[in-house]
Amino acid sequence: MIVQLKPANLSFREMQLSDLDAVIQIEMVNFPFPWTVGNFTDSINSGYTCLVLEMAANVIGYAVLMMALDEAHLLNVSVAPSQKGKGFGRYLLYHMMQISREKGGLNMFLEVRPSNISAITLYESIGFNEMGVRPGYYPAQKGRENAILMGVAL
């Protein structure tokens, strides 16, 4: 496992309902079909691991993880537009993988749009492989878009 340097003013904490304004602002810019406040609230209330990454008390990223026995399913990962390309996405991913291991996860899975090249490049660089395709998984401007299912051993 590659360990990254952790800047002093960078920290993870559990997502609170009071974070959702900041989270939704990022979500709306980052995704063509963003999660709603309700989606995040449901995830928090369902006991999923919902974390925000803070830098100097500002939310700069977040992730949502669902565990099912030894399978970790990463439902959302996102970095604020102004903070992309600085290594925070990779840092978030490694952190969620470590948490998954601590919860007994043996494999991590996620879905990604085939058009999301930056995310796919990140996942592949960490060791994720394509496991299959979920036809029509995502809403799209015209109809539906497939998802690539990717997975990595933890």
Residues making contact with ligand COA (CB under 6 A): 30, 77-79, 84-90, 112, 116-119, 121-122, 125
Between CA 92 and CA 120, with CA 62 as vertex, the angle to 5 degrees is 55
Cβ distance to ligand COA smaller for residue 90 or 101: 90
**What would the two tokens of residue 58 be?**
């500002």
Please indicate whether residue 94 is annotated as part of the active site.
no
- Which residue's CB atom is positioned nearest to ligand COA? 89
Please indicate whether residue 111 is annotated as part of the active site.
yes
Q: How many CA atoms lie within 13 A of 71 on its CB side?
A: 7
Between CA 101 and CA 106, with CA 105 as vertex, the angle to 5 degrees is 105
Cβ distance to ligand COA smaller for residue 67 or 137: 137
- The residue type of 17 is L
Of the residues 123, 124, 138, 145, only one is catalytic, namely: 123
We find the least distance from the C-beta atom of residue 41 to ligand COA, in angstroms, to be: 20
Catalytic residues: 111, 123
